[in-house]
Homo-oligomer: A and B are copies of this chain.
Amino acid sequence: MNKFVSRRELLSLIGKTGATAAVLKASTALGLVPETNVQFPDIPSVNPANRPAVVILGGGISGLTTAYELDKAGYDCVVLEAAPKAGGRCMTVRSGDLIDEVGNPQICEFDDEPHMYFNAGPARIPSTHRNLLRYCRELGVELEIFVNENKEAYVQDDAMFNGKPIKNAAVTTSARGFMAEIMAKNFTGHELDQPLNQYEAESLLSAIRSFGDLSEGDVFKGSTRSGYAHGGFIEHGVQKDVADFSELLKTDFMRMILGQNEGETGPVLFQPVGGMDKIVQGFTNKLEGKIYYDVMVASVNLNNGDGVEVTYEHKGMKYKIQADYCFNCIPSHLMTGIENNFDDNYIEAMRYVRRGEAYKSAFQAKTRFWEKDDIYGGISWTNQKIQQIWYPPHGVFKDKGVILGAYDYGGGMHFTKLSQEERLETAIRQGQKVHPEYRDQVEKGITIAWHRMNHMLGCAARWARNRDGMTADEERLYRTLQQPAGGRHYMIGDQISVHSAWQESAILSAHWAINDMVKRQSGISTMPGQKLS
């Protein structure tokens, strides 16, 4: 009698959506697909004889966007950047580059070749991120297609098939088959709010059958969709064995795999040819002489509604700038440690924003061993701490390549507690479970813990402490930080967005702030409702 889970038990499981929903929402990296409703800035040109002075703190994507747009409109812009290069988290690592992790600085030793790079921060551009794509076009950044899901890549879970890696196609095809069988056998139409007519019912069943590739009688007997065991071209194809469904249920990846191809990774994805920081270069090429590097901001003070005074240090010297406007993408938790005269609410908001953690590592591969396995780009998933292995979609057929060997964006940050040697050794040992030849193939590993990177000490901003969204109090703080302090100081960056960790958000934060400045200049009210007096 206890052969099956009872209906009551199942209903009880069905009620437990909390845990599942939490998991589903946990990943910013596999997030949602917001649509823009921030207007692209239309900035009135300024009088060349009387150019407003703008100081931009931080040369990340939001700072660069602000500088680029205001410079075009004739503003007198200066960007102060703490690091020796611009881009912030939009960072591509190549031969000779410094990874400036506090306490664990590394120099990248990859071969010096154009395709041998690692996008340590953002690595994907969804085709729905219109503003970022507009800048790529405008700045001449050449794009190529990025591969996210690859059915030929692996899924490996110690609990499933005794830990043997299996092809994503086998998981997906079997899961779809069994799910379709459940649907086709149980579907009566009663579960829908609306009745179905004969045609609609037939259409649904037809879709269900196609979804799962069901055999005669609506059972799943395996599918050639995941390939033949042998034959198929000259000889007749012999179908592969059906992946055991109960094995698939041993892994959480059923959920992962079936949730794929939706959300931000659903649209076509791009990467810039040669590295994500080609976007940064596109901006900096247009801002020659206007960006100052290795600059430590010492104070940011409002001048009674009449501009902002910034002091900073550079090579042991102190400097002061008076500006009409300040746009500030310094992470707010670092900004609170810099002298300022902001009011308490503003500082409370800055302090409230938490920072996500994110860890990535990468290796140079001596040969493109994954290509021998029909893998070109995409992701293998594993239940181990490394979580993912990414294969480069570019440089196909070349001798070597750079692969992502670990990507931890919320799994307890196991790696950051380890020494550099242990980080790499762990990644190699775990990678071997997916690719037995891994240890012999990978070398010159690098690691990046964004929450320990100098000048950042944090990854994506996080506003809501509860997964259900912002509380009223959080909403108040969020709106406080979006408003210009003293009408002249704007916080920018993904820290004033509800969709952090994407470059599009950084760009839109800049657009939002610029639009607000333009409105204030024109005397257009920025208050909700109609202006009465």
A: which residues have CB within 8 A of B? 3-5, 7, 9-10, 13-17, 20-21, 23-24, 32-38, 127-128, 130, 136-137, 143-147, 150-152, 169, 172-173, 175-176, 178-179, 181-192, 194-211, 213-218, 223-237, 245-246, 249-252, 254-256, 258-259, 261-263, 266-268, 270, 374-378, 393, 396-397, 469-470, 482, 496-499, 504-505, 508-509, 512
4 more CB-based (< 8 A) A-B contacts, given A21-B209, A237-B498 = A17-B217, A152-B268, A207-B254, A233-B498
**Minimum CB–CB distance for A272 against chain B, Å:** 11
Among A213, A267, A499, the one with the most B-chain Cβ atoms within 10 Å of its Cβ is A267
A194 with B246: CB separation less than 8 A: yes
B237 with A34: CB separation less than 8 A: yes
B216 with A249: CB separation less than 8 A: no
A179-B183, A196-B246, A396-B143 given as contacts; is B201 within 8 A of A5 (CB)? yes
| Residues in chain B near residue A255, CB distance under 8 A | 203, 206-207, 209-211
Instruction: Find the B residue at minimum CB distance from A15.
Output: B217
Query: In the complex, A194 Cα to B230 Cα: how many Å?
Result: 28
B254 with A195: CB separation less than 8 A: no
**Minimum CB–CB distance for A392 against chain B, Å:** 11
Instruction: Find the B residue at minimum CB distance from A16.
Output: B202
Question: Of B176, B233, B470, which is within 8 A of A508 by CB?
Answer: B233
B228 with A175: CB separation less than 8 A: no
Query: In the complex, A229 Cα to B7 Cα: how many Å?
Result: 38
Instruction: Find the B residue at minimum CB distance from A198.
Output: B5
13 residue pairs bridging A and B, Cβ less than 8 Å apart = A3-B195, A9-B201, A14-B205, A21-B209, A24-B210, A24-B213, A35-B232, A136-B397, A137-B397, A152-B268, A199-B249, A203-B254, A235-B498
Query: In the complex, A143 Cα to B144 Cα: how many Å?
Result: 11
B196 with A4: CB separation less than 8 A: yes
**Minimum CB–CB distance for A248 against chain B, Å:** 8
Question: Of B205, B234, B258, which is within 8 A of A509 by CB?
Answer: B234
Query: In the complex, A378 Cα to B261 Cα: how many Å?
Result: 14
A147 with B150: CB separation less than 8 A: no
A377-B145, A509-B234 given as contacts; is B32 within 8 A of A150 (CB)? no
Query: In the complex, A482 Cα to B35 Cα: how many Å?
Result: 56
Question: Of B32, B200, B216, B250, which is within 8 A of A200 by CB?
Answer: B250
| Residues in chain B near residue A232, CB distance under 8 A | 32-37, 498-499
Instruction: Find the B residue at minimum CB distance from A209.
Output: B20
**Minimum CB–CB distance for A18 against chain B, Å:** 8
B498 with A211: CB separation less than 8 A: no
**Minimum CB–CB distance for A23 against chain B, Å:** 8
| Residues in chain B near residue A224, CB distance under 8 A | 32-34, 263
A252 with B34: CB separation less than 8 A: no
A151 with B206: CB separation less than 8 A: no
Instruction: Find the B residue at minimum CB distance from A128.
Output: B374
| Residues in chain B near residue A35, CB distance under 8 A | 227-232, 237
Question: Of B208, B223, B234, B259, which is within 8 A of A211 by CB?
Answer: B259
| Residues in chain B near residue A251, CB distance under 8 A | 203
**Minimum CB–CB distance for A238 against chain B, Å:** 9
A13-B202, A17-B209 given as contacts; is B505 within 8 A of A233 (CB)? yes
B397 with A496: CB separation less than 8 A: no
| Residues in chain B near residue A187, CB distance under 8 A | 10, 182, 186
**Minimum CB–CB distance for A519 against chain B, Å:** 14
Among A38, A190, A497, the one with the most B-chain Cβ atoms within 10 Å of its Cβ is A190
Instruction: Find the B residue at minimum CB distance from A2.
Output: B195
Query: In the complex, A255 Cα to B209 Cα: how many Å?
Result: 8
Query: In the complex, A448 Cα to B115 Cα: how many Å?
Result: 38
| Residues in chain B near residue A7, CB distance under 8 A | 188
**Minimum CB–CB distance for A200 against chain B, Å:** 4
| Residues in chain B near residue A201, CB distance under 8 A | 5, 9-10, 13
**Minimum CB–CB distance for A466 against chain B, Å:** 14
